[in-house]
Amino acid sequence: MLSKSPLDNILEKPGFKPFSGKRAFKILELTKNNLKTVSYNMEDVLKSISSLSSISDKEISLLVNLQSQICTGCGNCCLYRGSIDINKNELLKIASFRNKSYKKMKQELKAIPLGNGKFRIQQPCKFFTGKSCEIFEVKPFTCLSYPTIEILKNLSTGIYDDFCPIINDILSELVIKRVIEEKLYKENPEEFNEITEKWKKEILSYSELSQKERLKLMILKYNNKD
């Protein structure tokens, strides 16, 4: 059993910096609205929002799952990110999927080599048409992982691309998860401990991987791929 509550374990980490700013207030209002029918402790909500600057591997899985569930299909991430970076293998897959040569696809996308096995492609993306992606089955990692990868990259600042409409929703869901965990820890510690041990075993299998590799596995898992 944890000697400290889940939230205190995060907030009392050495060097911890709280999540704050305008987005924190937006997430607070959204969370309160989402919790209208649930009994909760406001102090736990505020602590949970403050703790958003730290996200664990098990919570990355949650974020990946959420982004696939609540994505609006607006296409903003295909149009307004400025540019995306993809690697050679991803470009080869796209070329094969479109029945074109690697060279021809590279020319069509005006892919700029970065000298590290990656290419930069400017947006808007030529494969986004209205409300759908023409290469959905083989879309690159940077597309599969968005906006989770954006959230992870900017934890310390809380400053994210405003054009993605689901970032606040995802973070609010994470806040609610932490509020419920805190409540469970206080009211039913035995059940909380069982759940925690189960999560530990699942995450242990990812422990030797880099964050990018772990995220790829989690994306595959929640998209029901091999």
| Mean pLDDT in residue range 179-189 | 84
Backbone CA torsion sign across 105, 107, 108, 110: positive
Mean pLDDT for the stretch of residues 74-102: 94
37-86 pLDDT, tens digit per residue, is 778 889 999 999 999 999 987 788 888 888 888 888 899 999 998 999 99
pLDDT value of position 105: 96
Region 186-200 average pLDDT: 70
- What confidence tens digit (pLDDT) does each residue in 15-30 have? 999 998 888 999 999 9
Q: Shortest CA distance to 55 belongs to which of 133, 200, 155, 140?
A: 155
| pTM of the model as a whole | 0.80
User: Tens digits of per-residue pLDDT, 105-155?
Assistant: 999 999 999 988 899 999 999 999 877 899 999 999 999 889 998 888 887
More confident residue, 217 or 28: 28
The pLDDT of residue 116 is 86
Position 198 scores a pLDDT of: 63
pLDDT of amino acid 225: 43
Mention every residue, 6+ apart, whose C-beta is less than 8 A from residue 35: 45, 176, 179
Cis amide prior to 124 (ω within 30 degrees): yes
